[in-house]
């Protein structure tokens, strides 16, 4: 630990550790992740609006499972800003990231912490912006990443299917791009992230097969798969009912053009 000056000024954060926690299941936390939670002086946990309070509760539960009674003294909450919808999506997201960084600063002003941990859904490297927000911190701390289970790993494991076809690429995209641009040119397998609107409804379903899952790896896990034309509405209805029951939902899905391999894999799921 660094020696503190006689002014007793707050020690700046030396290290920020981003810990992937998978899709919320405690079993998705790696041993390395557990060790980093124990090493941290504090763990940043966002306070969310009432509709998403369960998400913060899940992160607190992970901390309690690792730290026991020490968890309450280590957890440092911050108010999570809400992104304002704008005509330019990237501009609004950039502004939102700036507000999150400020919220971190405000929270850390109240705590003398040199090693800070932040729990990240899925993995910090895949369709998550925590690393981009951390790059805005001044003075810049050392940033380390503990990889986690991605939603795609959890999805393909739950359905017991391979992500890719033999010698074939996989396209990972977002619901927004799928809605605006349609099926990616030349793609055979498309994994869709961040899609609250189930944008597969904007595609011609006749030659597509879907594997969908929510609350992956958790007790409430729910799955559906089959020809998109046959199961699309069931997924829409199941998702709406699950979100209503739990107050939140995290889901993802995989689309493939239908062929013999897809038909064989679907029978196993």
pLDDT in tens, 77-127: 998 888 887 778 889 999 999 999 999 999 988 788 889 999 999 999 999
d(CA 71, CA 165): 44
pLDDT in tens, 212-246: 999 999 999 999 999 999 999 999 999 999 999 98
Q: Band of the pLDDT at 184, cuts 50, 70, 90?
A: very high
Beta-carbon-side half-sphere exposure of residue 85 (alpha carbons within 13 Å): 0
d(CA 40, CA 141): 14
Ordered by where they begin, the domains of the chain are 15-149 (3.40.1010.10), 152-268 (3.30.950.10)
pLDDT in tens, 46-72: 986 665 677 888 899 999 999 999 999
| DSSP track, 31-79 | HHHHHHHHH-SEEEEEE--GGGHHHHHHHHHHHHHHHGGGHHHHEEEEE
With residue 223 as reference, give the H or E element that holds it.
strand 222-227
Question: For residue 52, what pLDDT is reported?
Answer: 66
Phi, psi dihedral angles at 132 (to 5 degrees): -65, -40
pLDDT in tens, 127-183: 999 999 999 998 899 999 999 999 999 999 999 999 999 999 999 999 999 999 999
Fill in the DSSP letter of residue 22. Answer: B
Name which residue leads in pLDDT, 267 or 249: 249
pLDDT at 261 over 80: no
pLDDT at 9 over 50: no
Spatial contact of 221 and 214, defined as CB atoms under 8 Å apart: yes
Residue 125 buriedness (CB in 10 A; 0-12 / 13-18 / 19+): middle
Name which residue leads in pLDDT, 5 or 160: 160
Beta-carbon-side half-sphere exposure of residue 29 (alpha carbons within 13 Å): 20
Spatial contact of 200 and 233, defined as CB atoms under 8 Å apart: no
């Amino acid at each position: 630990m660094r020696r503190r000056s006689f002014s007793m000024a707050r020690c700046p954060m030396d290290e920020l550790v981003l810990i992937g926690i998978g899709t919320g299941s405690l079993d998705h936390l790696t041993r390395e992740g557990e060790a980093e939670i124990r090493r941290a002086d504090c763990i940043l946990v966002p306070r969310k609006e009432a509709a998403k309070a369960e998400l913060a509760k899940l992160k607190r539960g992970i901390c309690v499972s690792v730290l026991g009674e020490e968890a309450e003294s280590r957890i440092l909450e911050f108010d999570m800003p809400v992104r304002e919808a704008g005509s330019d999506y990237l501009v609004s997201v950039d502004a939102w990231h700036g507000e999150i960084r400020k919220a971190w600063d405000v929270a850390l002003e109240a705590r003398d912490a040199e090693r800070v941990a932040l729990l990240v859904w899925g993995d910090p490297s895949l369709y998550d912006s925590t690393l981009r927000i951390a790059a805005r911190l001044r003075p810049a701390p050392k940033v380390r990443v503990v990889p986690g289970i991605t939603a795609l790993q959890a999805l393909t494991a739950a359905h017991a299917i391979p992500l890719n076809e033999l010698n074939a690429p996989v396209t990972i995209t977002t619901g927004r791009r799928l809605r605006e641009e349609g099926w990616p040119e030349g793609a055979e397998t498309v994994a869709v992230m961040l899609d609250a609107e189930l944008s597969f409804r904007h595609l011609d379903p006749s030659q597509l097969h879907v594997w969908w899952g929510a609350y992956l790896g958790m007790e409430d896990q729910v799955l559906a798969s089959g020809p998109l034309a046959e199961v699309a509405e069931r997924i829409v209805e199941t998702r709406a009912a699950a979100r209503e029951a739990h107050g939140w939902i995290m889901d993802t899905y995989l689309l493939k053009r239908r062929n013999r391999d897809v038909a064989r894999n679907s029978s196993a799921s």
